Amino acid sequence: MITACAENRDIQTDPGNSTALVVYHPPTATDNSGEVTVTCDPPSSSEFLIGRTNVTCIAQDISGNNVTCEFHVDVKGMLVKLFSF
């Protein structure tokens, strides 16, 4: 059972960049076997492109049972102000 899936979030790029480093806490999961592996795609600490990226996290126990949670990250580009002289 996944007990805490990350929430949807909005991230701003640094000026002039087309990606943003996104760090999130992977979900926590429990199982009566006591052994659960959680993987997320794309993983935390990845560069996300401008736009919406769906993140899927899967918790799997030693019997191969899966539970999934999903959230999305919206990366917005920051405009660079150009000055003319």
pLDDT in tens, 17-53: 999 999 999 898 888 878 899 999 999 999 999 999 9
Residue 84: pLDDT above 70?
Answer: no
Kindly tell me if the per-residue pLDDT of 83 is higher than 80. Answer: no
Domain locations in the chain as residue ranges: 2-76
CATH superfamily to which 2-76 belongs: Immunoglobulins (2.60.40.10)
Strands (DSSP E) found in the chain: 2-4, 9-12, 19-22, 28-29, 36-41, 46-49, 51-61, 66-76
- 63 versus 42: which is more confidently predicted? 42
The pLDDT > 90 percentage for the chain reads 60
Length of the chain: 85
Q: pTM of the prediction?
A: 0.84
